[in-house]
Structure 1
Amino acid sequence: MTEIMEWIGPLSVEQRTAMGLAGAAIAFLVVVGVLAIFLGWLRSLGVCVALVALAVVALFLMPLGTSRLVSHPAPAADYEAAMKTFETELLPSSQPLNPLCDPYVLSHGEKTKRVVVLLHGVSSCPHAYVDFAPLLHERGDNVLVVRMPQNGYADRASDTLGKITAEELAEFADKVVDTAAGLGDEVVFLGISAGGTIAGWVAQNRSDVDRAVLVAPFFGLGGTGPWTNSAAMRAMLVLPDFTIWKDPAQRENFQGGMAHAYVRQSTRGTGQIMRLGEAVAEQAAKGSPAAGDIVVVMNDADTAVSNRVTDRVVDRWIADGADVTSYTFPAKFGLGHEIIDPEEPGADPSISYPVLLQLIDDPSAFDPAAVPMPMPEPAAAPATPAKSAD
């Protein structure tokens, strides 16, 4: 068994999903074979196909309750009120935190012209912005770096991600924007991955946000389209919660990876994040986003999220007449999913930071053609044959 887990460990999410689907297909054939003993092959196959079809129909008819995921704004009136809200609502934690994962404010001691909110992805924490946040502070911004609910706890093997709900994330987003309103005259909200999903909800619901920046937003699983993603989301919400370990062999004993990230993911928590994303898509189909303008940054080399599903949301915003700037890093850059955290494999701040800083400042002046392309690595010099001694 250990050998199998060690073999599965390095596989990508898509490869593990393919294995899961193959396993489900094998289980289906086994059930058909058992029933065939009593019903015959054709009848048993018909019964099983009918049951699967009924399950799929029931899954798509299941109400998601997304109409509840609306905003209840209560913006801070001034700097002092904002800092009090931060200290009472965003700073406390119900469990001991990883020492790297406290939320924080890089402040100039008063309300500034602009505040930038930075929100990490699921299983990560505020430490993801350890290098990026100071760059904004040096530009004169107040910077609010927040911790997503159920993330950043000291126990890296915590099962707390399974407790995430879309309602909790929407309420959290409201509190963050309420706080930011007192820290800057202009509010920019940037989130990456699941943080990008929340940034999308903020863009749709909060008119006091001047710019929402969605970086590699998680609206859909990598390799899926809108329909297959919806099916996967609904299955995750209905089926029991499953743990996806970063190292299936070592599980909770895994000491590798980034010191500020969990060593496991939750299918139920993932489904709830996708449910919030579905709420954004549904709201976008019914009306224009509330934020002043929206920036969406994707990556052609990103296999963790579905750019196709993100495009569905972006297309609806554009159809509503929203001011949307979209940029996709070409695959040739070789970037991973997490393009901000300098400790994440596949990140290259020398490429991503200049682009993100410009898009935060002025999307209208951004020129994709001006983004420098990576230089090809020089070819290795041919080996020089050794000379024999005379």
Structure 2
Amino acid sequence: MPRYPRHGYTDRLNTSIAELRGDHLAAVANRAAEVGAGLGERLTVAGLSLGAILAGLLAHSRGDVQRAVLIAPMLGLKPLPGPALNAMSAAAKALPNFYMWWSNDLKDSLGPAYGYPRFATHAYAALFDCGRQLVRAARKEPPRAKSIAVITNAGEPRLDNRFTYRLVESWRRHGADVETFEFPAADRLTHDLIDPGNAAQRTDHVYPVVTRLIEGA
């Protein structure tokens, strides 16, 4: 499980996260895949949110990936259509970076202790750069991974799953083997549906599904 660049610092109000770039993220994902491929006979990659985008990029570009599992990929936000999201991402990248609290009420007291309580606009631009790269690649050619699974949450509080559905459709049009599973809105899951430290988590319900899809059973 690689650590993202500019992440994991003990100073939760550090400014290094503003230096994050899309190519940094793609590079660390590829290095992790190279290490994983050398450690065993079968390479499986999985990720949540941004990690799902990176897992998708690996699935698209690497033939040594036997299985890729994308969990709630952060490709689009409600209620922004694709062109508006692209314009906002481009503006965030071009303008000077600034920070926003995840919670204006809690500010720097927001948990968990390992997370940053605010986000940098340049970091968000890097995330969506990776997402656009994946979407464009999927439109042009099939993924090289042997098999792919995509997990979505119908009750997503922030993400627009239609972006993910279109990604799956693009891959399938090229003949790719893509398995899908969607947790129903009635499950009332949060976006981070795998963190056991989340007070609203339902790991007893989620983990068996995620494990089955990662194992390809």
TM class by shorter chain equals: over 0.9
Other-structure match for 1:99:
none
Match of 2:124 among 267, 270, 278: 270
User: Would the alpha carbon gap of residues 354 and 216 (structure 1) be closer, same or farther in structure 2, given more than 3 Å must change?
Assistant: same
Change (3 A) 1:274 1:266: same
- Code of the residue aligned with 1:306 in structure 2: it is D
The answer for the alignment partner of 2:196 in structure 1 is: 342
Which structure has more relative contact order (CA 8 Å, sep 6+)? It is 2
User: 2:60: which partner in 1?
Assistant: 204
Offset of residue 304 of structure 1: 2.2
Matched, 1:244 2:100: yes
Query: CA deviation digits over 1:99-128, x for unaligned, max 9?
Result: xxxxxxxxxxxxxxxxxxxxxxxxxxxxxx
Q: Which runs of 5+ in 2 are unaligned?
A: none
Deviations 1:162-186 (A, max 9, x none): 1111111111111000100111201
Mean Cα deviation higher: 324-333 or 221-230 = 221-230
Q: Compared with structure 1, are the counterparts of its residues 238 and 345 closer, same or farther at alpha carbon in structure 2 (3 Å cutoff)?
A: farther
Structure 2 Cα separation of the partners of residues 239 and 312 of structure 1: 29
The aligned residue for residue 15 of structure 2 is 159
Q: What is the CA–CA distance in structure 2 between the aligned matches of 1:230 and 1:181, rounded to whole Å? A: 34
Counterpart for residue 279 of structure 1: 133
**C-alpha distance after superposition, 1:326-370 (max 9, x if no partner):** 11110000000001111124321011100001111225xxxxxxx
CA shift, 1:290, in A, is 1.1
Q: Which residue of 1 aligns with 2:47?
A: 191
Kindly state the Cα deviation for residue 219 of structure 1 after the two structures are TM-superposed: 1.1
Q: 1:222 maps to which residue?
A: 78
Q: Which residue of 1 aligns with 2:184?
A: 330
**In structure 1, distance between residues paired with 2:200 and 2:90:** 30
Contact 1:225 1:309 in 2 (8 A): no
- Alignment partners' CA distance in 2, 1:304 and 1:345: 18
Identity over the aligned pairs, expressed in percent? 33
| Secondary structure at the counterpart of residue 116 of structure 2 | coil
The one-letter code matched in structure 1 to 2:138 is A
Partner Cα distance (2:60, 2:159) in 1: 20
Q: 2:2·2:28 contact (CA, 8 Å) conserved in 1? A: no
Note the C-alpha offset of 1:190.
0.6
Give yes or no for the alignment of 1:354 onto 2:214.
no
Map 1:20-35 → 2, pairs under 5 A: none
Q: What is the letter of the counterpart of residue 226 of structure 1?
A: G
Gaps of 5+ in 1: 1-144, 364-390
Aligned residue pairs, count: 217
Aligned to 2:27: 171
Matched-pair contact (CA < 8 Å) for 2:72–2:153: yes
SS at match of 1:244: strand
Q: Is the 8 A contact 1:338 1:346 kept in 2?
A: no
- 8 Å contact 1:193–1:217 — kept in the other structure? yes
Report if aligned partners of 2:67, 2:216 keep a CA contact under 8 Å in 1. Answer: no
TM-score by length of 1: 0.54
**RMSD across aligned positions (CA):** 1.5
Q: 2:37 aligns with which of 170, 178, 181?
A: 181
Quote the Cα distance in structure 2 between the aligned partners of 1:351 and 1:193.
Answer: 19
Rounded Cα–Cα distance in structure 1 between residues aligned with 2:156 and 2:140: 29
Is 1:294 aligned to residue 148 of structure 2? yes
Q: Secondary structure at the match of 2:193?
A: coil
Structure 1 pair 310–345 and aligned structure 2 pair: CA distance change class (3 A): farther
Instruction: Tell whether the 8 Å contact from 1:219 to 1:310 is kept in structure 2 after alignment.
Output: yes
2:4 aligned residue? 148
Q: How high is the TM-score relative to the length of structure 2? A: 0.94
